[in-house]
Amino acid sequence: MATFVLIHGAAADSWCWEPLAAELRGRGHEVVAPDLPCEDDTAGLAEYADAAVSAVSSSDASAVASERPAGDRTGPLVVVAHSFGGFTGPLVCARLPVDLLVMLQAQVPAPGETPGAWWENTGYPEARRESDRARGVAEGAEEDERALFLHDTPPALAEELLTEHGRRQSATPFGTPWPLEAWPQVPTRFLLATGDRFFPPAFLRRLVQARLGLRPDEMPGDHLPMLGHPEELAERLEAYLAAL
């Protein structure tokens, strides 16, 4: 059994992990899925990491209440960071004894880089234009959120996400430099969803190789593969655990 700490992206809440969380719990794992302070204009990256670390600590407190010793985990501690959560996940790894970090369609920060500068620094705008042209999307066209982010998500889940779980995203963390001097000394895997139109696969392959020196693993899905492919994602995560 492992404990999975699931870090959501921007303008979202922990609900986006529900199908995956149910799948992992059904396989005997523990899941901690914190809500980050997206709407708080006083919160930067440090406060996002605080929220995640606090959620893990609260999970340990719950263990005490149920007569299981705090921190008495029978398996590894795994952080899974999605999208903008890529700026927070490694910060959690720097503060907790994490055994594995899985970056899922995640932004990969560089030391001292702000999330706001990440887009130009990584060449994202041109990569996205190239990808859109290849898909026949006219330059400057505004795509529907379902088409851009959720085209491979079950319609009912996509509707619930968009109508009930969207949150205002404060701009504050986008001006906060990523504080680590180097990537944390934690085994890291990158899992790429091949159908994502927001973070095109070719762009992420280049980025992950350049910044992490890794070849990403690949699976089906759009920008939120935990909604459209929770069973396969759980299987991938368990395979990573087996390889530790």
Q: pLDDT per residue over 133-174, tens digit each? A: 999 988 877 788 999 999 999 999 999 999 999 889 999 999
Give pLDDT tens digits for 26-54. 999 999 999 999 999 999 999 999 999 99
pLDDT, tens digit (0-9, with 9 covering 90-100), for 107-128: 999 999 999 999 999 999 999 9
DSSP annotation of 97: -
Residue type, 178: W
pLDDT at 66: 35
Q: What is the pTM of this model?
A: 0.93
Confidence (pLDDT) at 73 = 53
Average pLDDT of the chain, as a whole number: 93
- Exposed/middle/buried for 92, CB within 10 Å: 0-12, 13-18, 19+? buried
> What pLDDT, on a 0 to 100 scale, did the predictor assign at position 87?
98
